[in-house]
């Protein structure tokens, strides 16, 4: 039996909560279709009750998507849940995602409810949702900062009412990998009916640990669903980044031992689509999808990858949609990389002495210019080349 990790993409819901990232219906539809191509398991399309516009987005995505489950977020009340169920009606496979805060801080200051009131509302909302749909996810918001005894009580009750996925949000990105993993493990061990639900992680990136926390939730905590967004888009410092978590699971299958349904070759195109749509630029050194993620500038590294790519590459650029890795010629490049580029450009030199003299001129130029382009090299060698 395979042990599969479910990828729940929330770019169109939690990602869109990033200030300045709001998307039109058509933009969301286009991204949803791309997420379907990427073969994510679940697309959280929006928060149907939050506005008429979001309702229409969830509905349109429910109509269009056939190969992924479409999900809508809803607060744990009858109105929100009914609205979400209505928007999801056309979906081939739909999920209601209910959330209610359980930390003492949120219950007292934000909800102004007692723990007993929250407990009752969590139960009754799942019961209500279960009459409308089979696939129900429950998220205790600010779950990681909640009292574990209270959380166990709530989660056991909502599973009894029929919640099929239990998501444990680190809403404010406060977790540390080992602690978060053990927090989940402890909940799963203490809740008698915990194996009746799939456990899920939802980590924010305020301390830059969303991906690490999610992976710890999987490995230590036994979660089998990860909630994430393309490019890590999301409120404040963002959410767990899909491309990073997916490539970690794939590249270190020796450690995780988990299957994924993701077509990784579509990762780069999806990242670019989200970046262009939202105007959120991807930093060059961003893992997997940044412009430099597969670029080599140092001479020693260039020489290494020209001899054997795995000397300095742990994954293939082509596996995530790049056409190739990139050797950036500049002042740190060695003769071997320079010679290889001449060959790639179809430049034939008569003698090793010619190559040496061209290489010396290249080094001089590289001291003045941070990146040397193919046109620079062609100009540099024009006097002693034989075109092929």
Burial classification of residue 113, based on how many CB atoms lie within 10 Å of its CB (0-12 exposed, 13-18 middle, 19 or more buried): middle
Residue 202 is labelled as binding a ligand: yes
Q: Which is nearer to ligand KIV, 14 or 80 (CB)?
A: 14
Using CA atoms, how far apart are residues 41 and 48, in angstroms rounded to an integer? 20
Binding site for ligand KIV (CB under 6 A): 14, 73, 99, 139, 141, 167, 169, 171, 202, 204
- Residue by residue, DSSP assigns 121-142 as HHHHHHHHHHTT-S-EEEEEET
Q: Which is nearer to ligand KIV, 36 or 141 (CB)?
A: 141
Q: Which does 141 bind (CB under 5 to 8 A by kind): Zn ion, ligand KIV, none?
A: ligand KIV
Q: Which does 99 bind (CB under 5 to 8 A by kind): ligand KIV, Zn ion, none?
A: ligand KIV
Q: Are 60 and 30 in contact (CB under 8 A)?
A: no
Task: Look up residue 4 and give its DSSP letter.
Answer: B
Residue 266 is labelled as binding a ligand: no
Residue 84 CB neighbour total at 10 angstroms: 31
Q: Which is nearer to ligand KIV, 80 or 243 (CB)?
A: 80
Using CA atoms, how far apart are residues 332 and 363, in angstroms rounded to an integer? 9
Binding site for Zn ion (CB under 5 A): 14
Using CA atoms, how far apart are residues 322 and 291, in angstroms rounded to an integer? 10
Nearest approach in angstroms of CB 214 to Zn ion is 12
The CA R_g of the chain, rounded to the nearest whole Å, is 25
Nearest approach in angstroms of CB 49 to ligand KIV is 13
Sign for the CA dihedral angle at 134, 190, 213, 150 comes to: positive
Q: Which residue has the tokens 């190969």?
A: 67
Q: Which residue is nearest to Zn ion (CB)?
A: 14
Nearest approach in angstroms of CB 82 to ligand KIV is 18
Residue 239 is labelled as binding a ligand: yes
Q: Are 346 and 292 in contact (CB under 8 A)?
A: no
Burial classification of residue 142, based on how many CB atoms lie within 10 Å of its CB (0-12 exposed, 13-18 middle, 19 or more buried): buried
Residue 14 is labelled as binding a ligand: yes
Nearest approach in angstroms of CB 13 to Zn ion is 9
Q: Which is nearer to ligand KIV, 69 or 385 (CB)?
A: 69
Q: Which does 135 bind (CB under 5 to 8 A by kind): ligand KIV, Zn ion, none?
A: none
Nearest approach in angstroms of CB 257 to Zn ion is 27
Nearest approach in angstroms of CB 223 to ligand KIV is 14
Q: Which is nearer to ligand KIV, 73 or 159 (CB)?
A: 73
Q: Which does 209 bind (CB under 5 to 8 A by kind): ligand KIV, Zn ion, none?
A: none
3-class secondary structure, 202: strand
Q: Which is nearer to ligand KIV, 95 or 204 (CB)?
A: 204
Q: Give binding residues as ranges.
A: 14, 202, 204, 239
Q: Give binding residues for Mn(2+) as ranges.
A: 14, 202, 204, 239
């Amino acid at each position: 039996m395979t042990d599969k990790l479910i990828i729940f993409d929330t770019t169109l819901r939690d990602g869109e909560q990033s200030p300045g990232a709001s998307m039109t219906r058509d933009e969301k539809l286009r991204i949803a279709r791309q997420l379907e191509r990427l073969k994510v398991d679940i697309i959280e399309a929006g928060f149907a009750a939050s506005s008429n516009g979001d309702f229409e987005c969830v509905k349109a995505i429910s109509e269009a998507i056939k190969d992924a489950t479409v999900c809508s977020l809803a607060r744990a009340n009858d109105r929100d849940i009914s609205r979400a169920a209505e928007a999801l009606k056309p979906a081939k496979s739909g999920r209601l995602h209910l959330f209610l805060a359980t930390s003492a801080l949120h219950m007292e200051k934000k909800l102004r409810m007692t723990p007993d009131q929250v407990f009752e509302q969590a139960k009754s909302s799942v019961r209500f949702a279960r009459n409308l749909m089979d696939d129900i996810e429950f998220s205790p918001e600010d779950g990681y900062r909640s009292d574990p005894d209270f959380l166990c009580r709530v989660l056991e009750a909502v599973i009894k009412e029929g919640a099929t996925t239990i998501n444990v949000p680190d809403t404010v990105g406060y977790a540390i990998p080992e602690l978060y993993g053990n927090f989940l493990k402890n909940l799963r061990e203490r809740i008698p009916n915990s194996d009746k639900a799939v456990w899920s992680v939802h980590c924010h990136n305020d301390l830059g640990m969303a991906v690490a926390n999610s992976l710890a939730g999987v490995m230590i905590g036994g979660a089998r669903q990860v909630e994430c967004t393309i490019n890590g888009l999301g409120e404040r410092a963002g959410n767990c980044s899909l491309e990073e978590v997916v490539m970690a699971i794939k590249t270190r299958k020796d450690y995780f031992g988990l299957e994924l349904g993701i077509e990784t070759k579509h990762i780069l195109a999806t990242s670019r689509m989200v970046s262009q749509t939202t105007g959120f630029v991807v930093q060059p050194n961003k893992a997997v999808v940044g412009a430099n993620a597969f670029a080599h500038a140092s001479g020693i590294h260039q020489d290494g990858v020209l001899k054997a790519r795995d000397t300095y590459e742990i994954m293939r650029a082509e596996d995530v949609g790049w056409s190739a890795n990139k050797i950036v010629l500049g002042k740190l490049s060695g003769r071997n990389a320079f010679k290889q580029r001449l060959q790639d450009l179809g430049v034939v030199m008569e003698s090793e002495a010619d190559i040496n003299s061209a290489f010396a001129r290249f080094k001089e130029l590289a001291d003045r210019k941070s990146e040397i382009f193919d046109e620079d090299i062609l100009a540099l060698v024009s006097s002693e080349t034989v075109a092929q």
